[in-house]
A = this chain, B = another copy of it.
Amino acid sequence: MSPPTDTPSADRELIDLLHRRGHRVTPQRVMINRLLRSRDTHLTAEDVHASVAAGLPGTSLPTVYATLDLFAELGLVRRVRAGFGPALYDSRGTDHHHLVCRVCGAVRDVDVDLDLSPAKAAVETLGFTAERVDLTVDGVCAGCRGTG
């Protein structure tokens, strides 16, 4: 049960990035970064808080939010508002899209390869600078299918 990510290198990358951007390196930031790198699921701020507070007692929820905001700004995570409920934080690897069950709220990744450049192009025509394209498919998952 060793962590699936190379912790030291994840730490190093974070530390360099923080220094480069003039931010401080704090235990909370390091721990949150490790957690994000070690899971490939989407996490809520609550999830992050619960996991991090276990190893770093006294870590507060507001700090988790602040850190996740910072990480989003640094491009380390994507904040995804899928369906109802809390926002999800996605430690972004490759670009992928999301699948949301409107019954149980479950969120899954979709790895289909779509050409979204027409959308970006159309958007730039409007004087808009496109930074990110999110595709969300809403529907009903297999498990909730029979439930009604």
Task: List chain A positions with a Cβ less than 8 A from chain B.
Answer: 81, 97, 99, 101-102, 108, 110-114, 116, 118-123, 126-142, 145
Contacts and interface: CB of A to CB of B under 8 A. Distances in A.
Contact of A114 (B97, B119, B142): B119
Contacts of A128: 99, 101, 108, 137, 139-142
A139 B113 CA distance: 21
Contacts of A129: 139-140, 145
Given A132-B137, A135-B133, A142 B116 contact: no
Nearest to A141: B128
A123 B122 CA distance: 26
A46 B138 CA distance: 25
Contacts of A145: 127, 129
Given A112-B118, A112-B119, A114-B119, A131 B138 contact: yes
A42 B113 CA distance: 30
B126 A142 contact: yes
Contacts of A126: 99, 108, 110, 142
B122 A130 contact: no
A147 B111 CA distance: 36
Given A99-B128, A118-B112, A128-B101, A123 B142 contact: no
